[in-house]
Amino acid sequence: MDLEELIKQNDVKDFSQSRQRFMDETNHQDLLVIVLRAHIYIEQELYLLINKCMKYPEKLNVRYLSDKLKLAYSLGLIEQGLFSSIMKLNDFRNKYAHQLDFNFTEKELNEIVSPLSKEEKTELEKDYAFYGLGTSDDFITKVRITLSFIYLSIKLNNLTLHLRMEELLIEHKSIETDRRITIIKSQQI
């Protein structure tokens, strides 16, 4: 077995263990606890993702999830749909923290899911099916699965970052080449 295959197997094992750990730690009947735990998991995974892209991560002092999220999005580490979904989750976490009477309902869950891409929503439906959840089943379980999906989407980005960095580098070189061609053409006129 070569090193790349061993790394891939470890990544799959880590991913699977992360899913189970998340589901175990959000196995609660109180939505406040579920949302707060999910928020912590997502924030930690964003932190790890961002740090992989920095030469001196200790020099960056980003305290809030929203700032980490904006940084990850601006670096191209997460897509628009995931960014918007996590921003919504952060809004709801803040409402829990500052409004005594806040209730997380199907409406809030839909606001988290709606920005996801069509492909992500299809994958989320597969997760619901994996856990034996239909469209009108247990709301708390649906919240846990949805937040797990968002967390694991970041985790997957983290595990595949080296491939994504190569893609971003190629894209950057292409943009830089196009820019140089434009400059050269404008100088010829």
Give the residue, 184 or 112, on which the prediction is more confident. Answer: 112
Tell me what the mean pLDDT of segment 31-44 comes to. 96
Nearest-angstrom CA–CA distance, 27 and 175: 46
Q: Which stretches of the chain are DSSP H helices? A: 3-25, 31-51, 65-74, 80-98, 106-113, 118-130, 139-159, 161-188
In the predicted model, is pLDDT for residue 1 greater than 50? no
Q: Hey, where are the domains in the chain?
A: 3-161
The hierarchical CATH code for the domain 3-161 is: 1.20.120
The predicted structure's pLDDT at residue 45: 93
Contact criterion met (CB below 8 Å) for 47 and 25: no
The predicted structure's pLDDT at residue 76: 87
Q: Which two tokens stand for residue 172?
A: 């950057």
Tell me what the mean pLDDT of segment 44-62 comes to. 86
State the pTM of this model.
0.80
Residues 7-18 have pLDDT tens digits of 566 667 778 899
What is the residue type of 64?
Y
Nearest-angstrom CA–CA distance, 89 and 162: 27
Residues 128-158 have pLDDT tens digits of 988 887 655 689 999 999 999 999 999 988 8
